[in-house]
Structure 1
Amino acid sequence: MSTKELWHTYVQSSQINQELLPNHIVESWEYCMNHDVNPFSRQGVEKVSGSALRTQKKTWAYLINIVKDEIRRLNEFFYIKKPLFILTDKNGVVLWRDGHEETRHLANEIRFSEGSIWTEKAVGTNAIGISLRTLQSVTVERFEHFAEASHPFTCSSTPILDGNNQVVACLNVSTMEELVESGYTLFALKMIAKNVQQRMAEVQLAEQKEAFLEALNLPFEQSILVGLDGKVLSVSDDVKELLVGSEGKTITELATFNKNRYTKHNLYQQEELIGFCYQLETKKLEPSFISFGITSQNERYQVFLNQLSQAAKSDLPIHIYGETGSGKEVSAKTIHFNSCRQSGKLVAVNCGALSENLLESELFGYAPGAFTGAKLSGYKGKIEQADNGTLFLDEIDSMSKRMQVALLRTLEDKKITPIGSDQEISVNFRLVTASNKNLKELVNQGKFREDLFYRLYVVPLKLPPLRKRQEDFEVLVETFCDKKNWHPIWKNKISDLSKEFEWEGNIREFHNFLERLYLYFPTKEPTRDELIELIAIGSIKINRMEETYLDERVEIINALESTNYHLSQTAEKLNMARSTLYRKIDKYQIEIIRR
């Protein structure tokens, strides 16, 4: 009896000879019958909305690109004619498809297209639905499909898992032609799924490590980062020889681990415990200056770092002015760990991310039951948490006038009163603030209190933007490549091209670009246009450095003329090192005229 005859018998009488069909097909037919799937359906009927599809495609854009890249790379392994490749999410929604025009046209006729839902409940027995339900790689041939719509097709599918072995998607290849070597097809699909999982795991691991390091208010030295599952995520460079091969093992499995020699620190992200840091207790000589971030080669940044180093030794309030993404939080961390308060906590608050009421409770805390939704145990505010340490207030310019008054009172009295409490609490902290706006201008515009300005603006520091630190592109690329253990032979091409752009989002924007580049081009060398496209998709406004060339040249000429071409005075006026001025005079071919 043919498969077609078996199908006709089953849909009419629910009778089936289980010995004549694969087990997964028998099981799926019964599943479809129990869920009242229409076997005579000629089209897919369920589809997500256009906006939902766009959201999903945006969410999984990196996965789609990895899959496309892997299909191109392993295409020779597919012994299949007129293939159509389909990628769905874990709910069976088609996110992407591409392949032979004839197969694609027939798929359109049955609504097997982007946005369609291709589960067993929606369209009957099919390879995608079975793979997502059973997490197995399967092939479903022609009349093995439960609904008539899919009878012209032979389909093979495999589930795609992430780094935590959770199903996130399904990869399918369909054809109208006879499948000669279904084993080879499944093998190729499983190879792609394995490679995709590995690349996703690398991204997840990097993101997790980054979150841990951000939560760690200590230098990452002689330390082990451990997840909630007890597995080692990363070890600092200075103990790697001692803990070779420790990543992935549980902390208790390490032969050299003795809990009595380590101090355990809990790591929190928005008050949620995300992991732990075990820090080896050893007496060692402390370096004279601890610097976070990259080792900059830029003269202007070195001037800034020297000023920061001197300011850190005092206990004076410091205000950092710098563009978005230029490294203000890293600078605050550097200040804290080079100050006399380094043994205390560094507590950071982004004032721009919170409403006035939320910021008030976040800074000052509240008593038990102070308001609806308050924790029964109350909440210790960030100011109190920073007692004997450093309080870092980012985007201080966004603070409302009422909150500015409250902060001013705290700085004057060295006391706070939690919301809903009548008890004053004495506090002693070092204040570091930051903004990407000019506080002086805000005071003149009446948008920032003058009395608070004088409390904050004791030691102002100006953080140079990335476009003024051309020498650092190579360092940033090299540091990123070292972290990822990724060293493409074409990496010089990255820094060379990057110098042509403004990077208004600074280091954060540049780092995001590098992440996309690593994700989409792990081995293949991108073209210049592909690199520019990767830069553009992450930029609000993409500007070439050439656009500022004339402006800077004119600025230097004007400064030279105003000082009668006195180079030292000109360099001071432009706030740049004299050697940098010489280099720019040469670069812009400016003629020196003495009157």
Structure 2
Amino acid sequence: MEQVKKKAWSRFVQEGALDEARLNRRIIESWAFCKKAGVDPYCGKGSILLSVEELQQKKQQNEQLLEVAAPILNKLEKSLRHTDSMLLLIDPEGFILKANGPENTLKYAKNINFTEGGRWTEELVGTNAIGTALQTNEPITVHGAEHYAIASQNWVCSAAPVRDEQGNLLGVLDVSSRLDSCAHEHTLFAVVASAYAIEHEWQKRLKDEEIYLLSLTLQQNHHKRGNNFILLNKQGVAVYIDPSLDDLQKFKNKRVKLENVEKSGFKQTMEVPVYSPDRRNPAGYQVFVVKKADDRKNWRLNCQENFKFSGVKGTSKIFRNVLVKLEKFSNTSVPVHISGETGTGKQVVARAVHDNSSRRKGPFIEVNCGAIPDNLIESELFGYAPGAFTGARKSGMKGKFLLADRGTLFLDEIGEIPETMQVALLKVLDSQRITPVGGEDELQCDVRLVTATNRNLKELVRQGRFREDLFYRLYVCPLILPSLRERGEDIPYFIDDYMKRHNWYMQWPKEILNEWIQFPWPGNVRQLLHVLDRVRILYPEALPEQKVLKEMAEETFIMEALPTQGPHKENTGEPANFRKKTEKEAIVKAIKEAGGRASVAMKKLGMPKSTFYRKLKKYNLS
């Protein structure tokens, strides 16, 4: 039979004549297509082979397909272990993502680039099971001389398409073996069954992710009317549309395209990735829209709740846990201590403690202990009596404790107060009474104390720089704020909040958002807001290309990586490690970009000469 097919092939490529009685209809159609496309029947070696980097990128793009298929492929591979067959998984463009099998078979296939990274379509290599399955969207076995190009005629290949529940092609599963290696009667059945199993698992995972998307939406109260968003799964199908969007309900359970949304009288303002629990890949997207005629100032993303928080809540689990504790702590009168890296929003959280407490109608007084000279901090906190010292007001001055009476006093950078002041503060906490500088009478004050620091108070206690008894008085209800890199999925919400506050609305591509989510942001929220300030000032009408936005973030990254104060980490004894590492990397990068010229590197870093050389010595950089 193989000789008959070989003669039919020779006659077709030489004369264009077909013996339709001896050939499968799909093979005839494919040969005709290949001849018309100009495929060389005497070659057929793969002409496109991806580089290692390009192949890795393709695998990342098809990561979920590879993950879903892996256990099913392993099972199929075990059933083929007594054959010389190779097992392949191919993407919708015909690129081979995965090729497993006996070493001798893989080596033989590599001679014609039939290997990972190769592209195996009809247009490039002629009739073959993979390319023909891609073309027809049907399972097929291509045997020996049925291949259009001679390079593949020593092979028998069985392939089946893998589709999602809408019928869209996810990829192709293929089993290939050398023509004389084994019997092939049941191979196609095994391939089709395995392809179906992959489809079933894909649909199951998709449904699980949709359930996660919807449950997350309900948890965040986004189901309330007026939030103006569409929830898409990763295939772009609308699984939920806010009830207020009456004109868009027709897109429910359908693929949603931006142009169709705009034709319906809406404008997309933002696309926010919603990450699956493993945080590696988006499970879907929230697409926020506004009526084109709406006043954008009235556009609201965050729902209104009884709990008052002026910052960005986001959806990250780590910050939701902080908010849960914050709400519970706010309802008490005991001290709250807030710790976290610089720029994580300690002042905002302190204000929320006050706004949600029984003291919310009283004053909220904030003091930065690190900004007050040691010799003035006592009078700043406790006030002073008339004529207490040279230059004092004749009437005296109320201190912050009295100003905060029946309210909240927020002492930021509490780790910076001198030891003598620590003793005085401890006394006030014990008695709720203060004595102004130069005064004799004790004055009653009713104050709820909130403190904050970006330093590790426990470490300061161990070093003898902070009183242990004061630590226990302040550290009653600790709140540890996560860094921005730990709540990266909240970055789109920070961007949305920034746009609303500045009446500046841009459509942020998901590629940029994903890149920023992975960015380390050592300066945390403050750094992100500085970058947004720069983007808004330089590009008020339209966002620049992705490369420019990346460079703008990296420029700020270098500046934020250089502070002398390390970040706070409650669970580590070396809190400055991250900043030291990023600082060293920034310096090395600047030196390389400057071609080793110190003056140019200093300018790039914005660093004084003395500091620059001190850092070189510190990090053993020559």
Q: Which TM-score band (shorter chain)?
A: 0.3 to 0.5
Q: TM-score, normalised by structure 1?
A: 0.46
Larger Rg: 2
Query: What is the TM-score of this pair, normalised by structure 2?
Result: 0.44
